[in-house]
Structure 1
């Protein structure tokens, strides 16, 4: 009997075990690759020893020292250069933060992730972060594990629905492993796909995979939580302070998302070579890091120093600033540094920076609370911990998963009541703003579940009732590089091809062209299309067969435009509103 034919729990216990082993080994591989790059760039080149978190051998007696501090911008710019060369030469879709790409593969690509992406993501991210770029190691690990989950699904000849589950399980297991947070990782696999929903089919295999990945990773790196153990007690009188902190974190989550994507979109619009952009982003980050080294790298060690109130470690080594000014600026500078490191095309995660931004925000809030009500706020640790989970839980639209992950990373289960209040308020305040653009609101909005909710009505609505778009398309006689750049700009993995007379020829895909040369017509392959009289159910079948979120619309050979999933959603919603109004 083939594995795809086994009962659900048996099948996913086996596959979850395999994915867990892969996730644990992937996390270890990336962890040591990152340590190597930090040694080469930061320690040997700059002569700067980054503070480590307590769970990874760090100390609270840290004193800043950098022998060649002026080389920090050179280190980060060089990291951006090398990362950009690797990514844009071999796998352009490996740029940015990997978790979003894995979420996009779940919803829109039937769980397909190109096989070259995991190793490219590993190397490029290790260089970006190891050279001092402000990014996290969870996103690369998530994409690495998700990519291998997609490969395993193909090796076992699993159908698209199972491949999607394998990708989601890989996301959770990878993050749960490298953060030493198996419960949170498992929940994240099911929660991070949506803004306001949960992928229940993912939870069981994610629990298995995340637990196994955690054991493998921690057997080598140690089972101590990354940020050590918080030994304080819960004080219910602080609940109003945590509620205020939730409001602050919700607003900061909005600022994080808006700043990140403003910088990201600005770099996308900038008409220079993609190879140059990560260099510029790295240089800007390095200049900030020259003045405020706390923003460099993952920031885990600085987070620990804030948690345990080692404020005298925070300095600006180049300009003399009062400590309070430095502490007040750090949350905002970390947002800017992360936006330039990753938004410029560098490779790394946004999860860890979100935690660090939250930690710095919580420390600043504690300073205010300590001044106003010193008896209720004697030390910053509970505010730092709760703020880091509230801010990123809101920004990631994964409040439950992030809450459990942070308490696992800090050993602070006694803070859960306050954490629940703060993250709920932050989630409410942040609205629809999310750091993961590939998320959809609910299962109903996911192309992966379109057939479950829309079949009857989709069989009635015609394509000619929908708005079509004219771009992006590829022209048969243009060169491959132009078509590839257009794909990357529009975030499409395939484009319809038309001949000089405007007639539909077929489709070209990113996977087929790769680094190919010549003209687009050399890579055209057939694709079914719809006509204006076709139903949206027919269009959905074309999309499913081709693995796209669009379908070409053709009438008597003439290409009329592209029907997108968004266009279908609008027509569907309009018809549904009409039915409700007449009910």
Structure 2
């Protein structure tokens, strides 16, 4: 049966390939990517929703649900160690690295591993979101369908973005936000013709959500108040706050995650300890349990009935100030809970937590203003706009944040405050950190593409592809005669010099020994030690191409030696070869309609 389905599938698409042109064929495959990614996103969201509902209805004890986060982390770690070798690349960083360093090939296992592990983590109470795993899964679907249909690197990259766009569109029923997310976060360079397949995929993903998901599962709101331009100064202040809270979020999350991850403990013990930490946090602040979208809905609708005061501490204050203090504390603790979840072995992302923090920040800010009795700000509107501000600052996607909130509120009533707050937040975080917390390390190492075109092209050049390793090396104890014999048999004009242990110590260039070569009397009198010279610089095998070009620019050289980490000579790299590769990559970056 399985073989028959494969044969039918191959026959169908072979027929289509013959009947349509290449652009039309890509549109068909993009539609298939959108359908698969949308269905997977809907399946994941539905499964998590009903598991969370089941947990909330357990009658044993009102605190029994607190045991589930540790169980979820433990099961996730067991799955990762038993089936995936103890480590999986997670989230958006994995996708970006695959585009830049792996020719947009993502292993087939990524089409399901994130669904399995993130559903267990989040459904059982991990304080993270499903969006990053959905993006990773949708991208893997796009990459693998592109591989099956024998598409080239440019087309594979486009279909990766299509899968991500469909996933985001399905989760939020927001196709515009899905398209913009793919362009803003995944595609460092966008060609106009990319928009059509991206739109097709996102629309199909959103339709999967619209048709299959129940209204109570979808993340949407109804605005209760219109935009009042008198509140613009407060939205500006909120934008600044969102920027600094985003920096706080990134700093706390990474510190906690690294602290948990670096503990030299048995991974199963670490998962249980992480679960215990979450249990303590959830006892004090139950709203931090899971994704928290139900809590966000209450906040964004201006509902003050969000305090679950298990400690009785907030009962000591009057209701209005108790709400303000509670919301502020929850907002500051969310990145810590997310860091514990990921650091102790869970799988999830920061998309949902950043929306959560933003909603609570907007609520906190507007409630604080209203508590002075001098102002009357719309709490729900500020909560929604705050979501966009923190999402923009944490994920570095201001346009996605603007259109996401506009779409889930079914209109553009808040478009002006959304633009103000998102752009201000992004401007502030960008000033302090040029890259997001998830991609900073990889971007600085040259492992992923950024929005710098020249650097992206250099990143896509593999050092191993342009090293010329057919160069000979000569011992420092050899004579000029040995070098002359080597020159006779070689077409090269540069040679590496090594010591007795084989370590690289210098070079000899043909131009430097021309005079001695025509004086045979010197052949046995002159040693290599006398005529060798220090290389202007050396390149190590693991260095980025950006760093390689910096060395060429500083030394004004056309050839530099490449060494292993233990200083063994590998070969030479020429600036000419780099320029040749550079030109080839530029010529390959064409519009789909030019094919």
| TM score, norm. by length of structure 2 | 0.70
1:473 equivalent in structure 2: none
Give the counterpart of 1:311 among 291, 304, 315.
304
Asked if 1:90 corresponds to 2:67, the answer is no
1:252 equivalenced with 2:245 (yes/no): yes
The size of the alignment, in residue pairs, is 462
Q: 1:434 aligns with which of 430, 433, 436?
A: 436
Question: Residues 231 and 26 of structure 1: is their aligned pair in 2 closer, same or farther, counting only changes over 3 Å?
Answer: same
Deviations 1:3-37 (A, max 9, x none): 59975642332122111111121112212221343
Question: Does 1 or 2 have the higher relative contact order (CA < 8 Å, sep 6+)?
Answer: 1
| 1:572 positional shift | 1.8
Question: Alignment partner of 2:108: what SS?
Answer: coil
What is residue 548 of structure 1 aligned with on the other side?
Answer: none
* Deviation of 1:219 (Å): 0.3
Query: Equivalent residue for 2:458?
Result: 450
1:561, CA displacement in angstroms? 9.0
Matching residue of 1:386: 385
Residue 352 (structure 2) aligns with = 352
- Cα distance 1:228–1:323, how it changes in 2: closer, same or farther (>3 A)? closer
| 2:331 matches 1:331 | yes
User: CA separation of 1:346/1:95 partners in 2, compared to 1, >3 Å: closer, same or farther?
Assistant: farther
Output aligned runs, 1:143-542, within 5 Å.
Answer: 143-193=136-186, 202-222=194-214, 226-321=219-314, 322-372=322-372, 374-377=374-377, 379-431=378-430, 432-437=434-439, 440-444=449-453, 449-450=457-458
Aligned to 1:108: 101
User: Which runs of 5 or more residues in structure 1 are unaligned?
Assistant: 48-66, 465-501, 504-530, 534-559
Q: Return the offset for 1:291.
A: 1.3
Q: Please report how far the alpha carbon of residue 562 of structure 1 lies from its aligned counterpart in structure 2 after TM superposition.
A: 5.3
Native 8 Å contact 2:238 2:362 kept in 1: yes
After superposition, where does 1:23-38 map in structure 2 within 5 Å? 23-38=37-52
What is the alpha-carbon distance in structure 1 between the residues aligned to residue 555 and residue 228 of structure 2?
Answer: 53
Determine the structure 1 residue equivalent to 2:30: 16
User: Hey, what's the Cα distance between the residues in 1 that align with 2:375 and 2:63?
Assistant: 43
Which residue of structure 2 aligns with residue 480 of structure 1?
none
User: Is contact 1:185-1:210 (8 Å) kept?
Assistant: yes
Question: Aligned equivalents of 1:320 and 1:240: distance in 2?
Answer: 34
Contact 2:324 2:368 in 1 (8 A): no
Cα distance in structure 1, aligned partners of 2:18 and 2:292: 43
Q: Is the 8 A contact 1:138 1:349 kept in 2?
A: yes
- Residue in 1 that maps onto 2:117: 124
Q: Distance in 2 between matches of 1:347 and 1:451?
A: 28
**Is the Cα contact below 8 Å between 1:173 and 1:185 reproduced in 2?**
yes
1:138 aligns with 2:131: yes
> Counterparts of 1:192 and 1:371 in 2: how far apart (Å)?
39
Q: Could you state the TM-score of these two structures normalised by the residue count of structure 1?
A: 0.72
Cα 1:286–1:156 change in 2 (3 A) is same
Structure 1 stretch 381-390 or stretch 340-349: which is displaced more?
A: 340-349
Q: Cα distance, 1:574 vs. partner?
A: 5.3
CA shift at 1:399, angstroms? Answer: 0.6
Given that 1:182 and 1:211 are in contact with CA atoms closer than 8 Å, whether structure 2 keeps it comes out as yes
Residues 354 and 347 (structure 1 numbering): CA distance in 2 closer, same or farther, change over 3 Å?
Answer: same
Residues 30-69 of structure 1: per-residue CA shift (max 9 Å, x gap): 122213432454433xx4xxxxxxxxxxxxxxxxxxx624
Q: Deviations 1:266-314 (Å, cap 9, x if unpaired)? A: 2332222334333332321222112111111111111111112221232
Deviation track 1:291-339 (CA, whole Å, cap 9, x = no partner) reads 1111111111111111122212322224432333211201111111111
Write the distance in 2 (CA, Å) between the matches of 1:154 and 1:441: 24
Alpha-carbon distance in 2 for matches of 1:390, 1:28:
26
Aligned partner (choices 570, 577, 580) of residue 547 of structure 2? 570
Residues 430-485 of structure 1: per-residue CA shift (max 9 Å, x gap): 122514315643152665x4388x89xx98999x9xxxxxxxxxxxxxxxxxxxxx
Distance 1:459 1:125, change over 3 A: closer
Q: Specify the SS of the correspondent of 2:347.
A: coil
CA contact (8 A) 1:366 1:380 kept: yes
Moved more, 256-265 or 271-280: 271-280
| Partner secondary structure for residue 341 of structure 1 | helix
Q: Structure 2 CA distance, aligned partners of 1:84 and 1:124?
A: 8
- Alpha-carbon separation, structure 2, partners of 1:86 and 1:532: 53
The CA distance in 2 between the partners of 1:199 and 1:345, in whole Å, is 38
SS in 2 for 1:414: coil
Equivalent residue for 1:469?
none
Q: 1:162 to 1:308 in 2, by over 3 A?
A: same
Distance 1:23 1:372, change over 3 A: same
Larger radius of gyration: 2
CA shift digits 1:146-190 (9 cap, x unpaired): 111122112112223322222122112111111111100011011
Does the CA contact (< 8 Å) of 1:72 and 1:289 recur in 2?
Answer: no
The answer to whether the Cα contact below 8 Å between 1:107 and 1:446 also exists between their aligned partners in 2 is: no
Separation in 2, partners of 1:126, 1:101: 18
SS at structure 2 position matched to 1:564: coil
Distance 2:87 2:111 in 1: 8
Query: How far is 1:105 from its partner?
Result: 1.8
Matched, 1:43 2:57: yes
SS at 2:413 equivalent:
helix
SS of 2:63 mapped into structure 1: helix
